[in-house]
Structure 1
Amino acid sequence: MTWELFLAYENLITLGIAVAIFLLFLIFRKLFTKYIFALLLKMTKKTKISLFSNVLVAFEKPLQWLFLIIGFYVALHYYGIKVGVLLTTDFIRRIIKVAIILLAMWGFLNLSSSTSSLFHKINEKTSVHIDEILIPLLSKTLQFVIIAISLTIILQEFGYSIEGFIAGLGLGGLAISLAAKDALANFLGGIVIISEKPFTIGDWVLTPSVEGTVEDITFRSTKIRTFADALVTVPNAQLSNEPITNWSKMGKRRITYYLRLAYGTPRDKIEKIVERIETLLRNHPEIHQETIFVKFDEFNESSLDIFLYFFTKSTVWGEYLTVKEEINLKILDIVEEEGVSFAFPARRLYVEEGEMKDFQRSREHSG
């Protein structure tokens, strides 16, 4: 065997060992995820401080990738030593550091996400109360700060001057502010929404632009899910200048309509129907007792109208419809039991006797 073949064979063995080292770290990663991480998560959930479990969940994926990065670095370092080539130079070390910084940023972004339970736990465990409407904005602000700090550290790692970058931002501030005046208006609109709190996430709102359930509030816009399941994005500048009806803030829900009875209904029957309907509403457990009106109100063109005006205790749409249906069916029973007919639009045509005879003659002649 020649010396060149021996070196090639040795290099191949070295490469195989380096690959084996990397694969070994892959196995460590699998074992860590399946056993060690699961055990740590189970232990932290038993403690009274849930912050540890939130941190573990947020950093689960970054920790798994950290095993890959360490394994790659160790394998590369071993291979470089064996073949006599310095592969782990300062540049490679910087790349590894940048990768670790990005993994840390990933974990902190997960921890500060609006879907994370961190903000809710702060509300539960401390005297600091964070409104639901503030959570998305606080989350995005915190994530922006995390990204900015991470990028600053990465730039410094490669020797870039942060002072010059900040100075450049200052010089371009005027141009940016002029170009982003709409964005600024939307941001200020978001501040108005936060300060006045006309609604929060999950509320059912009605505006001249859209009606639906609030899903998300960002610096620029508010996302509202309509009842047709479409997602509408409304700029905050527009939304803050519109009248907003928040149906979720109702303490009760109104029902009002006219019960139209046929002409010819006796007076005593009308009085009896009014009395029975009011008794029905006064004794119904789901009807708000503060405001109930059942009155014979109008002589309409083709009906005698009884005015009904009352409220349900529940403001939930489905429950409201159920109570309304129940009341309507019982009113239908009352009207039928009293032997009274509902009115329908009708008109009577009166014709003079002479005109009627002329009409009949014209028909006979045409026939």
Structure 2
Amino acid sequence: MEKGILPQIDQILNQVVLGTPLYKWALAVLIFLLFLFLRKLFTAIIINSIRAVVSRTKTTVDDKLLRVIESPLRFLFVVIGLWVVIDILGIQAEIAQHFIRSMFIILVFWIFYNSVNVFTDDVYKFTQKFGKELAKEVGSFLIKATKSFIVVIAFLAVLQEWGINVTALIASLGIGGLAIALAAKDTAANLFGGLTILADKSLKIGEWVKVGSVEGIVEDLGMRTTKIRTFEKSLVTVPNQYIANNPIENFSRRDVRRIKMTIGIVYDTPGETVKKIVEEIRQMLKEHPGISKEQTMLVFFDKFNDSSLDIFIYTFTNTANWKEYMAIKEDINLKIMEIVERNGSAFAYPSQSIYVEKLPHKLEFIKED
């Protein structure tokens, strides 16, 4: 019976599937699973042991280097496993060789890409040499630019591996290349717009700005766009070219806020009382702790309006904080109300008085037929 089973098993294993005996397919699967197991074993023993050692050292460089190579090393087991599988299956096709070599190219550039991520803090420390106020923005720009460069070079290297002459490809594009260049014109303009923003130091992350109709807090300064979170909590992505070519109102860089108002009091207020109200408001602002004494302060009886005597008030608070500003403005408004009421006057509201010189003794109603 056993003699009958063995030939059957041998016959099954030697059956050809896609040009390769079935036993080679089974061996290839087992080998690949073995490499996956070795990858887990490598992580559990080798990587964890190295992590325990580097965590006890004084420097953080070794910890960062481990983070750089950890994922690529684990992926290396998959690449080698595929390489062995292809060899076992006897696949000599050029496409398989190109595929494996492409995987190794990606592996190498993966290490470079991880290095940028891991050493981000060091990049920010380096950019502080160009000015602490823009260290984050410049650092973010450099990191994104470096990542993009690595991805592009990796892509070109893979194309070269597959026998595509990148230089000849670009040169052969002709009109198509011109079209691509024209399409990339706005991207280039936005890139230089981003560099202009950084050079001018016109805004930075966390500042409250207004550009055109967009007002809010800057959340991110990118190579192509700037993201602004509006006070309605929506995120607006603004092209850097637009920001560079439009006036930027930066509210975060002012240390004071303006109070500008015109109050109207009733017309039957005597002139001496108007003068007294103006003087008391002016004195109140001079003594108020929330008003900046270094900035312009104007309180004057301004004009005779249609239904009121207008007093013009122009001053600045000593804070740019919105909440504190509103509290100071509220207190000033209440004090102005007290001054007006204390002097026996009142605030005017739009009204008209009609004077009739003479009324007829008898009004006749004419009825028309």
Q: Identify whether the pair has TM-score above 0.5, normalized to the shorter chain.
A: yes
Taking a change above 3 Å as real, the CA distance of residues 187 and 303 of structure 1, as seen in their structure-2 partners, is: same
Secondary structure in structure 2 of the residue aligned to 1:214: strand
Secondary structure in structure 1 of the residue aligned to 2:359: helix
| Structure 2 alignment gaps of length 5 or more | 14-22
Contact 1:274–1:295, Cα closer than 8 Å, also in 2: yes
Contact 1:66–1:100, Cα closer than 8 Å, also in 2: no
- Aligned Cα root-mean-square deviation (Å): 4.3
Match of residue 39, structure 2, among 8, 22, 25: 25
Cα distance between partner residues in 1 of 2:302 and 2:118: 54
Cα distance between partner residues in 2 of 1:38 and 1:303: 79
Does the alignment pair 1:259 with 2:266?
A: no
* Paired amino acid for 2:197: I
- What is residue 210 of structure 1 aligned with on the other side? 214
Match of residue 223, structure 1, among 224, 227, 236: 227
Any idea what the Cα deviations from partners look like across 1:27-54, whole Å, max 9, x if unmatched? 5436778x5586478557x64x6x6666
Match of residue 202, structure 2, among 198, 202, 222: 198
Summarize the alignment of residues 1-367 of structure 1 with structure 2, pairs less than 5 Å apart.
1=2, 2=6, 5=9, 19=33, 21-26=35-40, 28-29=42-43, 35=48, 39=52, 47=59, 59=68, 63-64=70-71, 66-70=73-77, 73-74=80-81, 77=84, 85=89, 95-106=99-110, 108-109=112-113, 112=116, 116-124=120-128, 126=129, 131-165=135-169, 167-168=171-172, 174-290=178-294, 291-355=296-360, 357=361
Cα distance between partner residues in 2 of 1:181 and 1:145: 18
Contact 1:211–1:226, Cα closer than 8 Å, also in 2: yes
Contact 2:79–2:104, Cα closer than 8 Å, also in 1: no
Contact 1:113–1:140, Cα closer than 8 Å, also in 2: no
* Paired amino acid for 1:242: N
1:216 CA drift (Å): 3.5
Secondary structure in structure 2 of the residue aligned to 1:19: helix
Cα distance between partner residues in 1 of 2:117 and 2:223: 15
Secondary structure in structure 2 of the residue aligned to 1:200: coil
1:317 CA drift (Å): 2.6
1:22 CA drift (Å): 1.9
Q: What percent identity do the matched residue pairs reach?
A: 35
Higher mean displacement: 85-94 or 15-24:
85-94
Give the TM-score normalised by structure 2: 0.73
Cα distance between partner residues in 1 of 2:124 and 2:211: 29
1:70 CA drift (Å): 0.7
Cα distance between partner residues in 2 of 1:73 and 1:326: 75
Cα distance between partner residues in 2 of 1:275 and 1:40: 77
* Paired amino acid for 2:70: L
Taking a change above 3 Å as real, the CA distance of residues 285 and 224 of structure 1, as seen in their structure-2 partners, is: same
Contact 1:205–1:244, Cα closer than 8 Å, also in 2: yes
1:217 CA drift (Å): 3.9
Secondary structure in structure 2 of the residue aligned to 1:225: strand
Higher mean displacement: 241-250 or 288-297:
241-250
Any idea what the Cα deviations from partners look like across 1:158-212, whole Å, max 9, x if unmatched? 4544543454478965454345444444444444434434333333333334333
Cα distance between partner residues in 1 of 2:178 and 2:345: 77
Cα distance between partner residues in 1 of 2:37 and 2:223: 45
* Paired amino acid for 1:251: D
Query: Paired residues, what number?
Result: 351
Cα distance between partner residues in 2 of 1:199 and 1:337: 47
Secondary structure in structure 2 of the residue aligned to 1:331: helix
Higher mean displacement: 304-313 or 97-106:
97-106
* Paired amino acid for 1:284: H
| Structure 1 alignment gaps of length 5 or more | none
* Paired amino acid for 2:317: T
